Chains A and B, each alone.
Chain A
Amino acid sequence: MKKSNSRRSFLKNISLASASALALSGCSLKELEKFFQKNFRTLSEKEKKQLIEELEAEYKEKYHKEFHLSDKPAMDGTLFGYALDISRCIGCRKCVYACVEENNQSREPQIHWIQVLQMEKEKGIDFVHSDVHYNPETVPEEGHFYLPVQCQQCRTPQCTTVCPVKATWQEPDGIVVVDYNWCIGCRYCMAACPYGARHFNWGKPEIPEEEINTEMHYLGNRPRMKGVVEKCTFCIQRVREGRYPACVEICPVGARKFGNLLDPNSEIRYILENKRVLVLKEELNTQPKFYYFFGV
């Protein structure tokens, strides 16, 4: 405790010294404070609260709306799991766009957390022969089936192991999150993820003011900045409030199921018990909490 105190005062001293230097050069104090902001997991409750208030004010100024930014921690006794019915999915990509809206993904340049792959029925699940850019008049297309892929919320995620600064980690409820204020943008995690689930803000993300979702979570859908990585969080801002992820709600054919793996009466448990499930690239030992199954 003592150690971290002296560290804090050390940081304060540095920031004070450089603040005065930078004030002369016309740099705002706020930016400097941001520069010295610590990893989310090392912040005290008080610091978190203050940070959240500041961010809410900042977003309000930028988007002219009232925001609610939550930092709600994981609830005890929850481990979120997902199941996707391959035999139902028709490849309409409604989930892709619902996710973009819910999670404030950049519209320009476009970022999609969900990729829907079109596969040939004859080849089975075969990434090499799949296509994300399919674009027919109507779906589903003859001879094809669809496999949506998003973060598989691995139990042993490789993305978090490789991160050099611990900017990404697995929460107690199993959700893998990113601290956008801590990520240095080295993209090592993107090289490590076997499912292409992590996306980088190559340019400055743009979200139209009227489309921004004001219900936010610090570790989820708050606006990102240029040069950081983002990914699916099972809609952390929703599921920690007991709601379904946006993709589950929007799916017109009910192919998407979600629930608490630790609750024996949950739908996800029912599926694990009564259907036969599979995970993608099981040979890599990532142990996803995202299952695929054939419902019919």
Chain B
Amino acid sequence: MNFIRFVKGSVQLFFRGTKTYYAWLLFLFVLIVWGAGGYAGQLRDGLITTNMRDSVSWAFYIGNFTFLVGVAAAAVMLVIPAYIYNWKPIKEITIFGELLAVCAVIMSIAFIVVDIGNPMRFWHMLPILGTMNFPYSMLSWDFFFLLAYLIINFVVVSHLLYSIFYQKEYRKKMVLTIVFLSIPMAVGIHTVTAFLYNALPARPFWNSALLAPRFLASAFCSGPAILLILFQILRKVTSFEIKDEAIWRIAELMVYAMFIYLFFTIAELFKEFYSGTQHLLYWKYLLFGIGDNKELVPYSWLSIGMGFAAFILFLIPKTRKNFVTLNIGTVLIYSSVYVEKGIALIIPGFTPDVLGQIYVYTPSMTEIRTAVMIFSLGSLLFTFLVKVAIAIIFENYNIGSIRREEESVRIQA
């Protein structure tokens, strides 16, 4: 009964909001419909509607998957500094971080589902029902890590929100234990995802021990970016309190992450360019193009340029502490990592292919539309969850308020 009340109340909440909020919903809705049109074509005709072919057999979808795993991982890792520096709203930071993680994991799994040729056979991957290739296949590891991570985060946020909603004390010990469990898990999901590529000796571009560390560093740049923006919005529209210092501190931590990423990448580039073996070709294709094939060059330099600009903006204390430049930097680093993971990580791994042939890949309209569909569905889910969370945490939306409302309705009647 109470649960039904909760669901009913939350659904009502979802449709309540300002004009900007409605515009945002409408915007997402239009994107979802447009994107779904593209995906329908892929469902009907198969993956031939993408630009992937035998030479480049993984591409934009898998890149998006990787990016989102990074977001999911970093969102929770933000709990560490919040705890160490004793930022006041640590509970709120945990809740919003984990909500983001939950949405990001769901979206990343969605990208796998649209990428595989027979999504209906997904159950073959399960233990007992199917024939899971565990522990040999990194993909089954990844699947289970993601699933476990999703469940853990979901349990924690829903328990926290549930207890606030029912005006009960949450189980501090349990929550704290699980949160501290989910931090190594966050590192775990991203490492396992890196190992997915890393494990393939056939692809020298990925077969470097620095791949997993670089993954983590770049995730630490993009994941907090979303939360930086979200915290500022929350601070404006709710009674959520986070001090400027905490926001600047997050930005500062992001600079460290960027620096580490830069260092790892330079180490990688040094090894490749100085030894100048045939394995250099993949980097060459990415950065300069091979012969007339320069398709990826604009993407890679765009990503590098945006990354550097963000690095400078975050590094100089004056621009870091100015909210205009800070937010520009946030958008830049987010976009930079997105392009890096979506395009620059996967495609050079396949170009040239294992037999030295070059197949030129850029995402097709179907792929872009499908990706837009998943991103806008994910954003819709995130909006909804955040909305309910805001109401519960800041707007006294709880079991008492629902009861009172029902009372008043009855009295009026």
Which A residues lie at the B interface, using CB under 8 A? 7, 11, 35, 39, 41-42, 109, 115, 117, 126-132, 149, 158, 161-167, 182-188, 190-196, 198-204, 226-229, 284-285
Given A129-B356, A196-B355, A227-B118: A165 and B124 within 8 A (CB)? Answer: yes
Q: Determine if B52 is an interface residue (Cβ-Cβ < 8 Å).
A: yes
B201 CB contact (under 8 Å) in A35, A194, A204: A194
- The answer to whether A184 touches B118, judged by C-beta atoms less than 8 angstroms apart, is yes
- The answer to whether A195 touches B354, judged by C-beta atoms less than 8 angstroms apart, is yes
| Closest Cβ–Cβ distance, residue B127 to chain A (whole Å) | 11
- The answer to whether B352 touches A128, judged by C-beta atoms less than 8 angstroms apart, is yes
| Closest Cβ–Cβ distance, residue A257 to chain B (whole Å) | 22
User: Which residue of the partner chain B has the closest CB to A202?
Assistant: B48
- Extra A-B contacts (7), CB below 8 Å, given A131-B357, A196-B54: A127-B354, A163-B133, A165-B132, A165-B133, A185-B47, A188-B196, A190-B57
Interface residues of B in 84-133 (CB under 8 A from A): 112, 115-122, 124-125, 128-133
B355 CB contact (under 8 Å) in A130, A187, A201, A227: A130
- The answer to whether B137 touches A164, judged by C-beta atoms less than 8 angstroms apart, is yes
Q: How many A-B residue pairs have CB under 8 A?
A: 153
- The answer to whether B46 touches A227, judged by C-beta atoms less than 8 angstroms apart, is yes
* Smallest CB-CB A-B distances: 10 pairs: A185-B117, A227-B117, A127-B356, A203-B48, A194-B202, A164-B139, A202-B48, A165-B124, A128-B356, A190-B57
Q: Determine if B278 is an interface residue (Cβ-Cβ < 8 Å).
A: yes
Interface residues of B in 194-224 (CB under 8 A from A): 196-197, 199-203
Tell me the dominant secondary structure on chain B's binding face. Answer: loop
Q: Determine if B175 is an interface residue (Cβ-Cβ < 8 Å).
A: no
- The answer to whether B202 touches A192, judged by C-beta atoms less than 8 angstroms apart, is yes
| Closest Cβ–Cβ distance, residue A101 to chain B (whole Å) | 20
Interface size class of B (residues with CB under 8 A): 35 or more
Which residues does chain A contribute within 8 Å of B53, judged by CB atoms?
A: 202
Jot down 21 A-B pairs with beta carbons below 8 A, ordered by A: A39-B131, A127-B355, A127-B356, A130-B355, A130-B356, A130-B357, A158-B202, A184-B118, A185-B121, A187-B116, A188-B196, A190-B58, A191-B197, A191-B203, A198-B54, A202-B47, A202-B48, A202-B52, A203-B45, A203-B46, A227-B116
Which B residues lie at the A interface, using CB under 8 A? 45-48, 50, 52-55, 57-58, 112, 115-122, 124-125, 128-133, 136-140, 143, 196-197, 199-203, 278, 281, 349-350, 352-357
- The answer to whether A184 touches B54, judged by C-beta atoms less than 8 angstroms apart, is no
Which residues does chain A contribute within 8 Å of B352, judged by CB atoms?
A: 127-128
- The answer to whether B356 touches A200, judged by C-beta atoms less than 8 angstroms apart, is no
